[in-house]
Structure 1
Amino acid sequence: MLSTSETALVTKQFTSPHLAIGFEVCVPELFTRTAQAVPDTTAVEFGDLLWTYENLHTRSANLAHRLLLQGIKRETPIGLIIDRVPSTIAAYMGVGLAGASIVPIDPAFPSDRIRYMVDDCGIRLILTN
């Protein structure tokens, strides 16, 4: 449950169409800044599972590091065939932290559709769970 002040913050500040963050800041950078500013705050809650921003950032950064070690370059398209579970968030953020491009692929798609997406997007690596 949100407190009165938290509710006001969410309903007023975060829903404002004029939230100025600047175009020079991307989502992975905002994520890193948030993890540094509030590392012990819950970032992911899924059933009984709770991940703090620090935990989520560590998981994401580890994936980004592994991708870079494999030679993934900036804007390399990475396919994500992942069910909607907490590790999905870490995968999305890890690909972003590596500077690669995310190509979400629904695991329920027919195999010929997935093959077309892989070929059309030039995907060289697919992450799955």
Structure 2
Amino acid sequence: MNYIYIILACLIASFGVYFQATINQLERENVELSTSLQKTIQANEAYKVTMEQIQKDYVKGLETLADLSQKKEKEIRYVTTVKERIIHDQNSTCIDAVNAVFARLHSQRNADNNASTNAKD
């Protein structure tokens, strides 16, 4: 009868050791998963910040494209005006057209120089 109690005690002790080892392993996995979750949360926050910056840059890019489009339209209107003036004026020559284009380029260069000087200030 003592053998049965000894065997039963050994079985209970082995189950206790097994369960304790399983609990320890699960606690280690829980710590690893918690660490992994924290890293994922930090990466997600960094991703959100990056996406917000990309959205801001995208909006700035769209604004720049709109400005360039407006400038292009302005230049097209100017060239069309010069062309129509030359066509309607019977005394105009090719030199008048070239002079008008050079005057426009000169005024653009002055505007660009003023803009860069203002940007440096």
Give the TM-score range, shorter chain: under 0.3
More helix by share: 2
TM-score by length of 1: 0.22
TM-score by length of 2: 0.23
| Greater Rg by CA | 2
More strand by share: 1
Higher relative contact order (CA 8 A, sep 6+): 1
